[in-house]
Amino acid sequence: MTTRKPLIAGNWKMNLNHFEAIKLVQQLAFALGDKDFNKVDVAVLPPFTDLRSVQTLIDGDKLRIVYGAQDLSQHDGGAYTGDVSGVMLAKLGCTYVTVGHSERRQYHGEDEDLVNAKVQAAYRHSLTPILCLGEGLAVRQEGGHIAHSLGQLDGALRKITAEQAKSIVVAYEPVWAIGTGEVATPEDAQEVCGALRVRLAELYDPEVASAVRILYGGSVKSGNIAGIMAQPDVDGALVGGASINAGEFTKICRFSDMPG
Ligand SMILES: O=C(CO)COP(=O)(O)O
């Protein structure tokens, strides 16, 4: 059985300018120590325009925080105005890139084929995709949340080999819980994360399934993280709003000290 080191990733979304980005990373660096990093991997996912500042700080001071981007192009270069490629992100030292976030699916019409193409683009440049998926409210109310999430997983992993899949991070983010304060119960999170792991074993093998880190995302805060992290198939959190507050994010990274 593989032991999966928890991952707490902060998705800053379209917040913070590069000065504020530097301040937040410095605050995290001051607050978090070796003890924390031995227990948990901490990642920040700033907007593209903050990546260079964050890279300079993290690499220059050899901080143990890793960083990544919130999206990438399915193309590697060329006449694609406004796009940012995996080549560019790799050159900036990014470890992670989120793919298929519900806000991309909803506001930019990203469908299953595009999400799959972006997962492939991430692997072409040795970036680790954080594949986001999860159902909306209507699907949840009809009880279709598991089938919906598994369908999104299947679609995103087409043409992805077992060797590649082993390193993917999957983030279950029920859309109804994002930015609403409406957090899924720990049991809700476990139900879908557990089903995703079973599907990974079916698509690949048990070794892949036990290696993959599956995160929960949706209104994660210091007050609810401990209960979520206590679930056997939840290996971390993808944090939105609370990730741009240094105090809150630090407490989330120290989830084992928080009341359950
Ligand atoms: O979308 C999310 C992370 O990717 C979750 O956002 P909130 O934590 O603000 O609900």
- Ligand 1 centroid–CA 59 distance in Å is 26
Given a cut of 50, the residues of the chain with pLDDT beneath it are: 1
- Ligand 1 centroid–CA 30 distance in Å is 24
**CB contact at 8 A, 8 and 236:** yes
Tokens of 260: 């359950």
- Is 101 an annotated catalytic residue? yes
Q: Which of 8, 13, 45, 97 to mutate to test the pocket of ligand 1 (most atoms within 8 A of CB)?
A: 13
What does the pLDDT read at residue 236? Answer: 98
- What 3-state DSSP class applies to 220? coil
CA 242 vs. chain centroid, Å, equals 14
- Indicate whether this model's pTM tops 0.95: yes
What does the pLDDT read at residue 3? Answer: 85
Atom of ligand 1 nearest to the CA of 132: 4
- What 3-state DSSP class applies to 155? helix
What does the pLDDT read at residue 2? Answer: 56
Query: What is the per-residue DSSP string for 11-22?
Result: E--S---HHHHH
- Ligand 1 centroid–CA 79 distance in Å is 32
What does the pLDDT read at residue 131? Answer: 98
State if residue 131 touches ligand 1 by the CB under 6 angstroms criterion: no
- What 3-state DSSP class applies to 146? helix
Distant-in-sequence, close-in-space partners of 120: CB < 8 Å, separation ≥ 6: 74, 159, 160
Enter the CATH code of domain 7-21+35-257: 3.20.20.70
- CA-based end-to-end distance of the chain: 26
Q: Which of 12, 103, 239 to mutate to test the pocket of ligand 1 (most atoms within 8 A of CB)?
A: 239
Sign of the alpha-carbon dihedral angle for 200, 5, 21, 55? negative
**CB contact at 8 A, 33 and 56:** no
- What 3-state DSSP class applies to 223? coil
Indicate the domain borders of the chain: 7-21+35-257
Q: Which of 137, 180, 238, 248 to mutate to test the pocket of ligand 1 (most atoms within 8 A of CB)?
A: 238
176 is in an annotated binding site: no
229-248 confidence digits (pLDDT tens): 999 999 999 999 999 999 99
185-225 confidence digits (pLDDT tens): 999 999 999 999 999 999 999 999 999 999 999 999 999 99
- Is 173 an annotated catalytic residue? yes
Atom 2 of ligand 1: nearest residue by CA position: 240
116 is in an annotated binding site: no
